[in-house]
Amino acid sequence: MDLLYPHLTVNAAGHLCIGGADAVELARQYGTPLYVMDEETVRRQCRTYRQAAAEAFGPDALPLYASKALCFAGMYKIAAEEGLGVDCVSGGELYTARYAGFPAGRIYFHGNNKTDRDIADALDMGVGTFVCDNAEELTALDRIAGEKGKVQRILLRITPGIDPHTHKAISTGRVDSKFGSAIETGQAMEIVKQALSLPHVVLCGFHCHVGSQIFDIQPFVDAARIMTDFIAAVRAETGFLASELNLGGGLGVPYTEYDRTVDYAAAIRNMAAEVRSLCADRNVPMPRVILEPGRSLVAASGITLYTVGSVKTIPGFRTYVSVDGGMPDNPRYALYQSRYTALIADRPDAPQDTRVTIAGRCCESGDLIGEDMPLQTAARGDILAVLTTGAYNYSMASNYNRLPRPAVVMVKDGQARVVVRRESYEDLVRNDIL
Ligand code: LLP
């Protein structure tokens, strides 16, 4: 069957392998559910982005890893080693980045509702750039920075008014969005003027993010055009010339054999061509360009391994294959009806001769990994692998029904190591007070 990615192979025993490690063995050794990642695939994607951004936009271009996609200390270490910056959106992500020793100057701090405490903590930490979302935040940042005797470098989050045709819940660039200030309503220009008037912030440029899991290059090219136009309009109206333009993240990844693949380097070249020609056209110097990929850096590298429990066929309806995880470790089908590829890791080459619903073990009918999924005939005790779970699975995991969060194991050169320990029942009651 189509294993989607080259780091997924089948070994002599007929088992699924990830990065050269036998998935059935990993399940036996570390237990299930288990997130497994191939380190080389993550690093290769980081290098693809870095190299393509440098070639297309110039050597000062910087891809940031949008760490909401997969957040644990080891990921910040990889991002640092690969020369990326990071996008953090909460005090918790900032704390984890600091714990991992990530250089604070290369952190961009996002979020549409930063609390005073978030702002103070980020200032104390020396976060390089705040991406300010709205007027109140800007006022609060200026005040708190002033109290601390600091002047903070900022970008402003601008809503370019683009509908990228992705799932509504992950589309963020339209005018009616909880994020940023819209160009169309005039609020974007207003917030620029406000930022320029404040003594404790230094405005460097603008940020936009149109959405996530997007395969079409056009929304990115459109965003690049609208933002370059905005830079020119701001210069004309205020005299301020933006030196930095952050074009966000959002390029998609294939989850099934029917999804398109993306040539990330080509997409970056197309964006660059647009920004370059528009800058020349508007007589605006080329800004430093920042990109912010999350999913496309980590999704492909990850798989989740489960043990099959009950297999229940309801005549005339469907077959439920239940696994020992579910929406607590992967809420994406419940939230977005996201499609995945699944296979039995003990025999991935056997024909996928059944179509099943893969169910979790929560007390909730919507606790599904997918419906109408092709799968090898499954039996209790089989190891079931779900592919492309590196992004927005562990980072969105919960303890619903008091299920402990799975461990994360990283494979490198066929060798596995635990990078996040499995939660224990003791962990679950750690903060409970009798
Ligand atoms: N920058 C900003 C400001 C963002 O809001 C996001 C994602 C990214 C970058 C990274 O986007 P990516 O390259 O990963 O598409 N939980 C959803 C995805 C939510 C995306 C949120 N923002 C999912 O599971 O599909």
How far is ligand 1, taken at its centre, from the CA of residue 171, in Å? Answer: 9
Closest CA to 399 of 366, 421, 423, 426: 423
Q: How far apart, in Å, are the Cα atoms of 260 and each of 46, 213, 382?
A: 20, 11, 30
- Write out the E strands in 332-406: 342-344, 354-359, 368-375, 383-387
Q: Alpha carbon 397 to chain centroid distance?
A: 14
Exposed/middle/buried for 280, CB within 10 Å: 0-12, 13-18, 19+? Answer: exposed
Give one DSSP letter per residue of 2-36, joined into a string: --SSTTEEE-TTS-EEETTEEHHHHHHHH-SSEEE
Phi-psi domain of 213 (left: phi exceeds 0; alpha: psi -120 through 50; beta: other): left
Report the DSSP pairing between strands 62-66 and 85-88. Answer: parallel
Atom of ligand 1 nearest to the CA of 299: 14
Nearest CA residue ID for atom 24, ligand 1: 392
How far is ligand 1, taken at its centre, from the CA of residue 392, in Å? Answer: 9
> Which of 45, 162, 268, 292 most suits a substitution to test ligand 1, by most atoms within 8 Å of the C-beta?
292
Nearest CA residue ID for atom 21, ligand 1: 170
Which residues are CB-contacts of 363 (< 8 A; sequence separation ≥ 6)?
401
Report the DSSP pairing between strands 302-314 and 383-387. Answer: antiparallel
Q: Provide the terminal-to-terminal Cα distance of the chain, rounded to the nearest Å.
A: 52
What DSSP character marks residue 423?
P
Return per-residue pLDDT of the chain as tens, 434 residues.
899 999 999 999 999 999 999 999 999 999 999 999 999 999 999 999 999 999 999 999 999 999 999 999 999 999 999 999 999 999 999 999 999 999 999 999 999 999 999 999 999 999 999 999 999 999 999 999 999 999 999 999 999 988 776 666 666 667 788 889 999 999 999 999 999 999 999 999 999 999 999 998 899 989 999 999 999 999 999 999 999 999 999 999 999 999 999 999 999 999 999 999 999 999 999 999 999 999 999 999 999 999 999 999 999 999 999 999 999 999 999 999 999 999 999 999 999 999 999 999 999 999 999 999 999 999 999 999 999 999 999 999 999 999 999 999 999 999 999 999 999 999 999 999 99
Report the C-alpha gap between 228 and 220 in whole angstroms.
12
Atom of ligand 1 nearest to the CA of 252: 15
Closest CA to 387 of 45, 20, 38: 38
> Which of 68, 110, 255, 298 most suits a substitution to test ligand 1, by most atoms within 8 Å of the C-beta?
68
Atom of ligand 1 nearest to the CA of 170: 19
Atom of ligand 1 nearest to the CA of 296: 13
H or E element in which residue 420 lies: strand 415-420
Contact 65, 74 (CB under 8 A): no
Atom of ligand 1 nearest to the CA of 110: 3
What is residue 85's predicted lDDT score, i.e. its pLDDT?
Answer: 98
H or E element in which residue 318 lies: strand 318-323
Which residues are CB-contacts of 411 (< 8 A; sequence separation ≥ 6)?
18, 19, 20, 21, 26, 36, 37, 38, 39
Give one DSSP letter per residue of 51-104, joined into a string: HHHHHHH-TT-EEEEEGGGS-SHHHHHHHHHTT-EEEE-SHHHHHHHHHTT--G
How far is ligand 1, taken at its centre, from the CA of residue 312, in Å? Answer: 36
Closest CA to 246 of 205, 212, 300, 279: 205
How far is ligand 1, taken at its centre, from the CA of residue 292, in Å? Answer: 9
- The yes-or-no answer on residue 204 being catalytic is no
What DSSP character marks residue 113?
S
Nearest CA residue ID for atom 19, ligand 1: 170
How far is ligand 1, taken at its centre, from the CA of residue 247, in Å? Answer: 13
Closest CA to 78 of 127, 123, 37, 131: 37
Annotated catalytic residue, options 46, 88, 204, 363: 363
Nearest CA residue ID for atom 5, ligand 1: 209
Q: Residues for the chain: how many in total? A: 434
- Secondary structure (3-state) at 408: strand
State pTM to two decimals. 0.96
Ligand 1 neighbours by CB, cut-off 6 Å: 66, 69, 87, 110, 170, 172, 209, 212-213, 248-250, 292-296, 332, 336, 392
Percent helix, strand and coil across the chain, each to the nearest 5: 35, 25, 40
How far is ligand 1, taken at its centre, from the CA of residue 251, in Å? Answer: 9
For the record, the structure tokens of 358 come out as 């893969």
What is residue 176's predicted lDDT score, i.e. its pLDDT?
Answer: 81
For the record, the structure tokens of 39 come out as 């380190």
How far is ligand 1, taken at its centre, from the CA of residue 252, in Å? Answer: 10
- Secondary structure (3-state) at 204: strand
H or E element in which residue 417 lies: strand 415-420
Atom of ligand 1 nearest to the CA of 250: 15
What is residue 169's predicted lDDT score, i.e. its pLDDT?
Answer: 65
What is residue 11's predicted lDDT score, i.e. its pLDDT?
Answer: 97
> Which of 215, 247, 291, 295 most suits a substitution to test ligand 1, by most atoms within 8 Å of the C-beta?
295
Nearest CA residue ID for atom 9, ligand 1: 249
Closest CA to 380 of 32, 2, 37: 32
Q: Alpha carbon 337 to chain centroid distance?
A: 17
How far is ligand 1, taken at its centre, from the CA of residue 208, in Å? Answer: 12
For the record, the structure tokens of 54 come out as 């440098």
Strand partners, 251: 214
- Secondary structure (3-state) at 395: helix
Q: Alpha carbon 311 to chain centroid distance?
A: 33
